[in-house]
């Protein structure tokens, strides 16, 4: 289930945000979408999830054209967890997770046969079972993030898009989230996460796409992309790459 982007363009009010993005997120892998603020990471995730319609380009998931797919059909394959998703939604966690079943619901909102099972599975997988009856508004940042993730999982997506999922999370919550994403890719879900933290990407991603001003500056494995000569012109910083003594993964320092 690999995600393929070809020449995706999108501009708003004459300003080009996505300027011909061509890239691939391999199936059943965690792909990091990197780049400085304003590089177009969020817009690209929105284009793939159908929230915005690109002016040009092709977006396919496992060969299926996502841009011409009906909205509900697309929402059954692709789920999006937004950055700082609304904090004040006064629903309980289990009500919020049921919302993830929207693309599977009948027109008049009757409960479909698979709803209860899918909601229970999503709640269990995201580890929010003991929060099920709590209001979203009373949760901590990490708990809320997992609740939103459970909502996305209830969509039973083949492709999961996350926009800055680790913002506002403490170290423990970050590790938990990465473990969860690892379990999702293990069972075949393709995950694309926009990330600010390059060391997090270095530690966890199978594949990275580096965006700069709406274009792909580099794409490939962590070792191919997270190198000083690639990162320095994009982020305009000096960068050193060390090797993690235990994992052997790259560790970046900046100056």
Partner 1 sequence: MTARAVLRPMATGVLLAVAAVLLAVSVTVAVTIGPADLAPLDVWRSVADHLGALGGSGPAEPALGVLRDGIVWEIRLPRVLTAAAVGAGLAVAGGVMQGLTRNPLADPYLLGLSSGASLGAVAVLVLGVGVLLPVAAFAGAVVAMVAALSLAGSLGRLTPARTILAGLAVAQLCAAGTSFVIFWSATGDSYREILAWLMGSLAGADWPAVAIAGGAVIVLGTGLALQGRTLDAFAFGDTAASALGIDVNRTRWTMLTVVALLTGALVAVSGSIGFVGLILPHAVRLVVGAGHRRLLPLSALLGATFLVWADTAARTVFEPRELPVGIVTAFLGAPVFALLLWRRRSAAGDLA
Contact between 64 and partner 1 per CB under 8 A: no
Total interface residues for partner 1 by CB under 8 A: 38
Q: Give Cα 164 distance to the centre of its chain.
A: 7
Is residue 123 within 8 Å of residue 129, measured between CB atoms?
yes
Q: What track of x and - describes contact with partner 1 for positions 153 through 182 (by CB under 8 A)?
A: --x---------------------------
Residue from 30, 43, 82, 202 touching partner 1 (CB under 8 A): that is: 82
Nearer to partner 1, 42 or 166 (CB): 42
Is residue 132 within 8 Å of residue 126, measured between CB atoms?
no
35 vs 84, 149, 182, 232, CA distance in Å?
18, 23, 22, 11
Select the span of 23-31, 81-89, 176-184, 240-248 touching partner 1 (CB under 8 A): 81-89
Residue from 7, 12, 72, 170 touching partner 1 (CB under 8 A): that is: 72
CB of 149 to partner 1, least distance (A): 13
CB of 220 to partner 1, least distance (A): 28
Is residue 161 within 8 Å of residue 74, measured between CB atoms?
no
Select the span of 13-21, 122-130, 131-139, 228-236 touching partner 1 (CB under 8 A): 131-139
What counts of helices (H) and strands (E) characterise the chain? 9, 12
Cβ-in-10-Å burial (0-12, 13-18, 19+) of 181 comes to buried
For 2, residues 6+ apart whose C-beta sits below 8 A from its C-beta are: 24, 25, 26, 27, 61, 62, 190
SS3 category, 30: strand
Element containing residue 144 per DSSP (H, E): helix 141-154
Contact between 78 and partner 1 per CB under 8 A: yes
Contact between 133 and partner 1 per CB under 8 A: yes
CB of 58 to partner 1, least distance (A): 20
Select the span of 7-15, 45-53, 173-181, 208-216 touching partner 1 (CB under 8 A): 45-53
Contact between 46 and partner 1 per CB under 8 A: yes
Select the span of 31-39, 67-75, 178-186, 189-197 touching partner 1 (CB under 8 A): 67-75
**CA 183/CA 126 separation, integer angstroms:** 10
**CA 74/CA 77 separation, integer angstroms:** 5
Contact between 99 and partner 1 per CB under 8 A: yes
Contact between 207 and partner 1 per CB under 8 A: no
126 vs 1, 93, 97, 101, 177, CA distance in Å?
22, 11, 11, 16, 9
Find the radius of gyration of the CA atoms of the chain: 18
CB of 162 to partner 1, least distance (A): 12
Q: Write out the residues near partner 1 by the rule CB under 8 A.
A: 46, 49-51, 71-76, 78-80, 82, 85-86, 88-92, 95-96, 98-103, 105, 108-109, 133, 135, 137-138, 151, 155
């Amino acid at each position: 289930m690999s995600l393929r982007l070809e020449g995706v363009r999108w501009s708003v009010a004459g300003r080009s945000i996505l300027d011909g993005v061509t890239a691939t997120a391999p199936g059943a892998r965690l792909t990091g979408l990197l780049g400085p603020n304003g590089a177009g990471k969020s817009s690209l995730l929105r284009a793939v999830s159908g929230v915005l319609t690109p002016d040009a380009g092709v977006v396919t998931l496992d060969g299926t054209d996502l841009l011409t797919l009906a909205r509900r059909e697309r929402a059954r394959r692709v789920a999006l967890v937004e950055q700082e998703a609304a904090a004040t939604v006064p629903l309980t966690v289990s009500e919020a997770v049921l919302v993830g079943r929207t693309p599977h619901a009948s027109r008049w909102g009757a409960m479909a046969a698979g709803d209860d099972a899918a909601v229970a599975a999503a709640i269990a997988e995201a580890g929010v079972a003991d929060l099920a009856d709590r209001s979203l508004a009373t949760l901590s940042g990490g708990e809320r993030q997992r609740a939103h993730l459970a909502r996305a999982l209830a969509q039973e997506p083949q492709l999961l898009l996350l926009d800055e999922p680790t913002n506002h999370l403490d170290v423990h919550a970050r590790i938990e989230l990465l473990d969860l994403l690892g379990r999702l890719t293990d069972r075949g879900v393709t995950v694309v996460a926009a990330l600010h933290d390059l060391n997090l990407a270095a530690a966890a991603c199978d594949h990275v796409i580096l965006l700069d001003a709406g274009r792909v500056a580099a794409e490939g494995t962590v070792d191919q992309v997270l190198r000083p000569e690639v990162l320095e012109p994009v982020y305009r910083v000096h960068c050193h790459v060390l090797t993690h003594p235990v994992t052997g993964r790259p560790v970046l320092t900046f100056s």
